[in-house]
C-alpha cells in the first residue's frame, strides 16, 4: 500500500509549536524548520485543530521564510475533530466526516500551510457515523485534483480500517505507541500494518517517561541506567530505539520544539537494541515477565 513517498525516520510533530505549547514566533518556527531539515527530519505532522485551529497558518508563514523547497519535505495533516473553540461555532465536541467537510478542511490546510498538496492526509479519530463511501468520494476527489498524495487514519482499530477499506485504500495509521503505552502491539493494530504493508506512525513515542515518578518508572529507570551506559545514549534515545525496533517499522512522531531534543532524537535510529534489552524494558514497564 505504500507508494514511493519517503518519510524521514523521525517525524517532527508540530502540535506544541503554537498556542498549545511554546508559542513560537514566525522566525523561531522558521529556524526550527531549517534545523529539522539540516538534521534529516524532513516530515512534519500537523492537524487542523492544533493550536486552536491556528498552527497550520503559523507554520505556513514560517515555511515561506525558511530555506526549504517544498519537494524536500513531507507535510502530513489530519481532519475530523470538531472542538468547542473560539475559532469555531461548535456546541459540543464531535467528528465530521462528510464529503464536503473533508474536502473543505483539506483545502483549508493547503491554504494555511502555503502548499499545493499534502503528502499524507489522515482522519484524526474514528467516528461512529463514518460512511465509507462518502469518505472515499472526498478522498478520491482530493487525490484526482492532486491535493493529497496518500490517505490514512489516526487512532483507528483494524476493524475500523477494514470498514473504510470497503471503499478506499488506507495507507497509514498513526497511533499512540511507547514503552508505557504498548497496547497496539497486542490488539492487532501493528499486525494489520505489517500484513497490509500499512505505514505505522507513533504519536507520544516517549510516553509519560519524563512526567511520572511511580513504581513503574523506578523499574524502568533501573534498566535504563544500564542501557544508557551500554549504548552511550540518552534515555529518550533508548526509548525511541525501543519503538523503532518493532517489525512494523514504526515512525515516531516526536512532539518537541526543542532543537537539542530533536537533534538527540534523530540519533536514535543508529541504536540497535539487543533483543533481551528490548524485552528487559518491556518487562520493567509491565511489572512482570512476558507469558
Task: Kindly list the catalytic residues.
Answer: 50
Terminal-to-terminal C-alpha distance of the chain: 33
* Parallel/antiparallel/unpaired status of strands 251-254 and 199-203: parallel
Helix (H) or strand (E) holding 43: strand 43-45
Where is 272: in which H helix or E strand? none
| Residue spans of alpha helices (H) in the chain | 26-38, 50-53, 55-65, 99-113, 132-144, 158-164, 189-195, 215-231, 235-244, 259-266, 275-286
Find out whether 101 and 131 touch, Cβ atoms under 8 Å. no
Residues 6+ positions from 75 with CB-CB distance below 8 Å? 44, 46, 113, 115, 117, 118, 119, 120
DSSP letter at 88 equals S
Q: In Å, how far are 45, 120, 186, 200, 253 from 243, measured between CA atoms? A: 18, 21, 14, 11, 11
Give residues with Cβ within 8 angstroms of 232, minimum separation 6: none
DSSP character for 71?
Answer: G
Amino acid at each position: 500500500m505504500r507508494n514511493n513517498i519517503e518519510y524521514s525516520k523521525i517525524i517532527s510533530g508540530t502540535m506544541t509549536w503554537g498556542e498549545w505549547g511554546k508559542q513560537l514566533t514566525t522566525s523561531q518556527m522558521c529556524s526550527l524548520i531549517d534545523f529539522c531539515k539540516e538534521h534529516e527530519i524532513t516530515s512534519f505532522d500537523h492537524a487542523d485543530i492544533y493550536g486552536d485551529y491556528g498552527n497550520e497558518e503559523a507554520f505556513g508563514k514560517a515555511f515561506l521564510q525558511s530555506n526549504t523547497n517544498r519537494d524536500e519535505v513531507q507535510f502530513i495533516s489530519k481532519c475530523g475533530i470538531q472542538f468547542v473553540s473560539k475559532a469555531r461555532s461548535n456546541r459540543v465536541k464531535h467528528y465530521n466526516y462528510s464529503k464536503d467537510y473533508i474536502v473543505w478542511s483539506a483545502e483549508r490546510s493547503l491554504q494555511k500551510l502555503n502548499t499545493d498538496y499534502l503528502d499524507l492526509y489522515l482522519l484524526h479519530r474514528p467516528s461512529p457515523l463514518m460512511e465509507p463511501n462518502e469518505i472515499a468520494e472526498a478522498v478520491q476527489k482530493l487525490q484526482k485534483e492532486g491535493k493529497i498524495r496518500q490517505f490514512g487514519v489516526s487512532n483507528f482499530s483494524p476493524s475500523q480500517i477494514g470498514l473504510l477499506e470497503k471503499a478506499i485504500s488506507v495507507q497509514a495509521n498513526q497511533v499512540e505507541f511507547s514503552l508505557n503505552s504498548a497496547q497496539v502491539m497486542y490488539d492487532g493494530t501493528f499486525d494489520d500494518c505489517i500484513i497490509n504493508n500499512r505505514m505505522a506512525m507513533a504519536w507520544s513515542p516517549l510516553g509519560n517517561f519524563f512526567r511520572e515518578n511511580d513504581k513503574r518508572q523506578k523499574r524502568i529507570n533501573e534498566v535504563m541506567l544500564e542501557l544508557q551506559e551500554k549504548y552511550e545514549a540518552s534515555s529518550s534515545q533508548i526509548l525511541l530505539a525501543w519503538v523503532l525496533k518493532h517489525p512494523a517499522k514504526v515512525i515516531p512522531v516526536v512532539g518537541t520544539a526543542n532543537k537539542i531534543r530533536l537533534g538527540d532524537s534523530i540519533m536514535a535510529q543508529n541504536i540497535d537494541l539487543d533483543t533481551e534489552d528490548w524485552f528487559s524494558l518491556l518487562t520493567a514497564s509491565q511489572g512482570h515477565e512476558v507469558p
